[in-house]
Structure 1
Amino acid sequence: MSNFGGAVIRIAMLSPIAWSTPPKKYGPWESVVSLLTEGLVKRGIDVTLFATADSHTAAKLHAVCPRPYEEDKEILVKVYECLHISEVFERANEFDIIHNHFDYLPLTYSALVDTPVVTTIHGISSRKTLSVYKKYNNSTFYVSISDAYRCQELDYIATVRHGIDIEGFTFNDTPENYLLFISRIHRDKGTREAIETAKKAGMKLLIAGFIADSEYFMKEVEPYIDNQQIIYEGHVSQERKKELLSNARALLHMINYDEAFGIGVVEALASGTPVIAMNRGSMPELIMDKETGFLVNSVEEAAEAVKMIGSISRKKCRENVEKRFSVDRMVDDYIKVYETILDKCKRESVRPWGYYKVLSEKPGYKVKSLTVLPEGEISLQRHAHRKEHWYIVSGKGIVTKNESKIRVLAGDSVDFPVKQVHRVKNIDNENLVFIEISQGDYLGEDDIERLEDKYGRE
């Protein structure tokens, strides 16, 4: 098995339950979770996938929701969301990392467990949910799926762009003469704008995808479906989707919002199909303008781009995806994220007096939790670059501060300016636990001058 510092890593992979993992048709988040899970298993990593019971995986599958709630409207969504999430956190101590792909709700469980939680933010549905992300900003880890979709109010451990199963998409250098819209039918996705573009360009348009907004479909899409120039194929299977992508002259992605990523765009490029997209959100990170497609700002510009689509090398579209959006690259990136998290959260068991854990670290400050075992004693020391504030969480101790000795209990706090001599000794039969906040221009563990140490580390 793959290991991290000699130990096998155990990942709890929390997938949404709107669709199965992988999805039968639509389900972009579930699709990414599936590709990542299977990629990690191939590397020998121990993964437990929490998903719907009809999901398929080489990992260990754990499910409480029998079917996707989008496919079975009898399922009470909130009940099964709560049951699904609670299964992960009630088993938290079995895992080294919980990887959350289920939006903001699992974050509200994160402070109840010691296992670090990393959340891939696939999309923030509303700024009203941002308060949840902000509350857990300093106690969990966030991954963005594009640089464009980073929220300035949050901190991120990395950007990991999605990968796709490139070999699952057939490259086609001799497409048919139609344009394609394939996504959920919704105003955000620009279905109506795709229709307008096709009409202005005088091209056939095939539309595929499930109807996410029935009123929008009836008013803005259905009146233009004539089954000659504008054709709606319905909610198609994965096989039909790949066929449509491979044979299309170009994909129209006329979004009306700042999209976080856009898996369909990458899938089209993998098929050799150029993409004409509104220049919003992550699109400049996916499409090389005038090389693998066109970034436009209006329906009129999109219609003009259709006329120039022959200038795009379909081979280059495929090669670009092979280089930048493979599953292997995505898995590599996430393994680096896991390594970073484990390094930040690990206990330093080499300390003879006990152990510590870094809770947060930013330029200028570091927050640690320190546990001093019974009879344990931190060395008499001072720091040249940082001052410290200690807050006693539990236990009893004696703090040395220059020549003074102070008895401390839970709720007490002590401050140490730069270069002040200090130490603490546990005088109880229970662990002494305290929070240390360090501030200064250098916070490395080697900024310690030991003056006296019972373990011989002077």
Structure 2
Amino acid sequence: MLSPIAWSTPPKKYGPWEAMVSLLTEGLVKRGIDVTLFATADSHTAGKLHAVCPRPYEEDKAMIIKVYEGLHISEVFERANEFDIIHNHFDYLPLTYSALVDTPVVTTIHGFSSRKILPVYKKYNNSTFYVSISDAYRCNELDYIATVRHGIDIESFPFNDRPEDYLLFISRIHRDKGAKEAIEVAKKAGMKLRMAGFIADSEYFKNEIEPHIDNEQIIYEGHVSQERKKELLSNARALLHLINYEEAFGLGVVEALACGTPVIAINRGAMPELIIHEETGFLVNNVDEAVEAVQKVNSISRRRCRESVEKRFSVDRMVDDYIRVYETILEKCKREEKRPWGFYEVLTEKSGYKVKRITVLPQEELSLQRHSHRSEHWHIISGDGLVTKNSDKIKVLVGDSVDLAVNDIHRVKNTGSQNLVFIEIAQGDYLGEDDIERLEDKYGRA
């Protein structure tokens, strides 16, 4: 499990991607799945934690981000052979390592910071797997194996049927998140607004937010702890989520609903997938409609808000969905039972021929063998090796090919430090795996 390193996993305060990675990791471990979490050293997990980054780079501005990103990602891919699947939550950069390993890579696309990163996703579209976190946030230029909406630890969010009389904005302070619009709604509705979240855009905060903070009607609480966040969500009359962009999900929306707090949100991005209009909140198009929704918010059943999250956004549901994704990927990339020398996968099999992708681990070798019913053609696609063909020893590199006739005595050894990968095309009247006569074998199978 490859987590971002901007924040710890789970985060101490802000860090939605890291929060999801933590919930998924712990959920999988509870199911008995062996998970190694690659995250910052101050992270916590019931699985196996592996870290090269000592702390989140957002908490230590002296760190050179690219140095630790490079070290962090390379750790995963250098150990790829240890894992059945690499689950990437660290955006597009790890994809550039994916073709160097045989382990399947699935990437949860939490968000596109810009269309300028799409070339990387498009390059690896057919060789890795993508999961979207909402149907609304799918890119029509990419293929997806599934949509898996986030789940939350519902029991950790206190339900409150007797809220206080204030509106709430809780997110990063940024134009995208509609902090300014939340202030406008509160003032027009004549209600108190509590605001919390880290300042992601200091100029925006200085010019558009700070002048309105009077600590009476408009109150800014700063970057709050998880405990204080839950208190604010639970006690609010309604959450204002007046976004100015196509948001991929909206974790704070689901967390508010879990507390029983209705949400008034701009009808963009994934909001219609999270909020049931006029049942768990209101989907609006502008500030004026949001003000009208504030007047009607008491018509929303806070119990209904909680029940909608229990039904649709639990951690167990999210874990179930991801397990199905993993099972589908493993079936698509099905490997033969792992051999002591490595593994193979059948790419295609028809009457008279079979095509395999064979991976031999560093310094390992196949048995010295021959076949009675089939000939084989080997084409090297990565690594260095030494092929025995009857009495000949043939050194092979990337791009080389070797033809083996029926009854030719042969073997291949990986002589390098990286995996030796080759495509095998077998032709004959019988292609079963029992058409192998082993003459010598270092693993005692002759």
Normalising by structure 2, report the TM-score: 0.82
Counterpart-to-counterpart distance in 2, 1:340 and 1:298: 42
- Deviation for aligned residue 1:410: 5.3
Counterpart-to-counterpart distance in 1, 2:225 and 2:67: 29
- The answer on whether the counterparts of 1:195 and 1:205 sit within 8 Å (CA) in structure 2 is yes
Counterpart-to-counterpart distance in 1, 2:372 and 2:128: 28
- Corresponding residue for 1:36? 24
Q: 1:282 to 1:455 in 2, by over 3 A?
A: closer
Identity of aligned residues (%): 75
- The answer on whether the counterparts of 2:91 and 2:109 sit within 8 Å (CA) in structure 1 is yes
- Corresponding residue for 1:163? 151
- The answer on whether the counterparts of 1:14 and 1:88 sit within 8 Å (CA) in structure 2 is yes
Taking only aligned residues, the RMSD between alpha carbons, in angstroms, comes to: 3.1
- Deviation for aligned residue 1:347: 2.0
1:26-58 deviation line (CA, Å, top 9, x unaligned): 000000011111111111111111111111111
Q: Which amino acid letter does the alignment assign opposite residue 154 of structure 2?
A: I
- Corresponding residue for 1:255? 243
Q: Which amino acid letter does the alignment assign opposite residue 13 of structure 2?
A: K
- The answer on whether the counterparts of 2:267 and 2:284 sit within 8 Å (CA) in structure 1 is yes
Q: Which amino acid letter does the alignment assign opposite residue 410 of structure 2?
A: N
Candidates 191, 196, 206, aligned match of 1:208: 196
- Deviation for aligned residue 1:427: 4.9
- The answer on whether the counterparts of 2:369 and 2:411 sit within 8 Å (CA) in structure 1 is no
- The answer on whether the counterparts of 1:356 and 1:368 sit within 8 Å (CA) in structure 2 is no
- The answer on whether the counterparts of 1:192 and 1:220 sit within 8 Å (CA) in structure 2 is yes
- The answer on whether the counterparts of 2:9 and 2:44 sit within 8 Å (CA) in structure 1 is yes
- Corresponding residue for 1:434? 423
- The answer on whether the counterparts of 1:190 and 1:255 sit within 8 Å (CA) in structure 2 is yes
- Corresponding residue for 1:418? none
1:187-232 deviation line (CA, Å, top 9, x unaligned): 0101001111111111111110000000000111111111111111
- The answer on whether the counterparts of 2:191 and 2:217 sit within 8 Å (CA) in structure 1 is yes
Query: What is the correspondence of 1:151-300 to structure 2 with a 5 Å cutoff?
Result: 151-300=139-288
- The answer on whether the counterparts of 1:116 and 1:140 sit within 8 Å (CA) in structure 2 is yes
- Corresponding residue for 1:308? 296
SS of 2:240's equivalent in the other structure is: strand
- The answer on whether the counterparts of 1:344 and 1:358 sit within 8 Å (CA) in structure 2 is no
- Corresponding residue for 2:15? 27
- Deviation for aligned residue 1:154: 0.8
- Corresponding residue for 1:332? 320
- The answer on whether the counterparts of 1:379 and 1:454 sit within 8 Å (CA) in structure 2 is no
1:54-107 deviation line (CA, Å, top 9, x unaligned): 111111111111111111111111111111111111111111111111111111
More displaced 10-residue stretch of structure 1: 181-190 or 92-101 = 92-101
Q: 1:226 to 1:131 in 2, by over 3 A?
A: same
1:210-259 deviation line (CA, Å, top 9, x unaligned): 00000000111111111111111110111100000000000000000000
- The answer on whether the counterparts of 1:278 and 1:295 sit within 8 Å (CA) in structure 2 is yes
Q: 1:188 to 1:427 in 2, by over 3 A?
A: farther
- Corresponding residue for 2:442? none
- Deviation for aligned residue 1:348: 3.7
Aligned length in residues: 399
- 1:49 and 2:37 equivalent? yes
Counterpart-to-counterpart distance in 1, 2:150 and 2:70: 27
- The answer on whether the counterparts of 1:345 and 1:357 sit within 8 Å (CA) in structure 2 is yes
Q: 1:331 to 1:425 in 2, by over 3 A?
A: farther
- The answer on whether the counterparts of 1:377 and 1:454 sit within 8 Å (CA) in structure 2 is no
Q: 1:180 to 1:452 in 2, by over 3 A?
A: closer
- Deviation for aligned residue 1:453: 5.9
- 1:345 and 2:333 equivalent? yes
Q: Which amino acid letter does the alignment assign opposite residue 429 of structure 1?
A: H
- 1:320 and 2:308 equivalent? yes
- Deviation for aligned residue 1:370: 3.8
Q: Which amino acid letter does the alignment assign opposite residue 129 of structure 2?
A: F
- The answer on whether the counterparts of 2:358 and 2:424 sit within 8 Å (CA) in structure 1 is no
Q: 1:62 to 1:411 in 2, by over 3 A?
A: closer
Counterpart-to-counterpart distance in 2, 1:377 and 1:130: 47
Counterpart-to-counterpart distance in 2, 1:275 and 1:315: 13
Q: 1:358 to 1:330 in 2, by over 3 A?
A: farther
Counterpart-to-counterpart distance in 2, 1:225 and 1:319: 35
SS of 2:86's equivalent in the other structure is: strand
SS of 1:70's equivalent in the other structure is: helix
Unpaired segments ≥5 residues, structure 1: 1-12, 361-366, 381-389, 397-408, 414-422, 437-447
- The answer on whether the counterparts of 1:375 and 1:425 sit within 8 Å (CA) in structure 2 is no
Counterpart-to-counterpart distance in 1, 2:13 and 2:432: 65
- The answer on whether the counterparts of 2:167 and 2:237 sit within 8 Å (CA) in structure 1 is yes
Counterpart-to-counterpart distance in 2, 1:266 and 1:18: 23
Candidates 56, 59, 82, aligned match of 1:71: 59
